[in-house]
Amino acid sequence: MQSVHADVVRGKDGWCGTVVPAAPHTPSDPEHVCVQLESGEQLLVPAAVLIPQQDGGYYVPLRLAELARIGGCPDTSNERVIPVLVEELAVQKRVVETGKVRITKTVHEREEVVDEPLVREEVEVERVPIQRVVDGPVPIRDEDGTTIIPILEEVLVVEKRLMLKEELHIRKRRVEIHQPQQVTLRCEEARIEREEAHIERLHNTEQENRAI
């Protein structure tokens, strides 16, 4: 039978007590230990039901009412109480290291031929001279898949216009001057003779005058 020292004892329904030694005048009972509860009450607990714990205490898989029935209070009489025990399974879990595993990764290299089509876009830029005067900004446009970006430039425009520089005002004046000159004027005079004899001569004279 295991010896029990003054340690903490905990029960199934949460009760707690301390193992106390028996009084000197009390006969020793190796089958039981005396446990004093927190309320001061003392109970006899069968030593066989005490389960040692890692913290140095003990666990009793009995409720306080069950323990009072089978144990009771310690007395000095010669009566012996033989408890009838029922074992109950108390399952506890703890982590136990059973071994270690070391994992080492090895990288293997291999070569494969990858033939995937790649798409590359090429841009062709063509400068097209226009040299045309426009009224304002020209927007970017697309014609048959060709993007046309206009390039504008401000130029100085020289324009010819008629300007009235001056006028020539011409006026006419009429000036009278006197320059005396000697001029010879001729004057014809006709004489008519009634004589028959002179008719032919007169006719010749008139022809001469008309000729003049």
Higher pLDDT, 39 or 147: 147
In a domain, 143, yes or no: no
In a domain, 207, yes or no: no
d(CA 174, CA 43): 171
Give strand pairing partners of 60: 11
Share of the chain above pLDDT 70, in %: 75
Tokens of 181: 């000159």
pTM of the model: 0.31
Task: Choose among 41, 114, 48, 102: nearest CA to 72.
Answer: 41
pLDDT tier at 32 (50, 70, 90 boundaries)?
confident
- List, for residues 68-125, the tens digit of each pLDDT value: 776 555 544 444 555 566 777 778 888 888 888 888 888 888 888 888 888 888 888 8
- List, for residues 180-207, the tens digit of each pLDDT value: 888 787 887 777 766 655 555 555 666 5
Average pLDDT, the chain: 77
In a domain, 134, yes or no: no
Q: Please provide the DSSP assignment of 55-78 as one string.
A: TS-EEE-S-HHHHHHHT----SSS
β-pair type (42-46, 32-37): antiparallel
In a domain, 127, yes or no: no
Total number of domains constituting the chain: 1
In a domain, 35, yes or no: yes
In a domain, 16, yes or no: yes
In a domain, 172, yes or no: no
- List, for residues 167-182, the tens digit of each pLDDT value: 777 777 788 888 788 8
* Domain ranges, residue 48: 8-70
For residues 8-29, give the mean pLDDT: 73
For residues 131-142, give the mean pLDDT: 88
In a domain, 152, yes or no: no
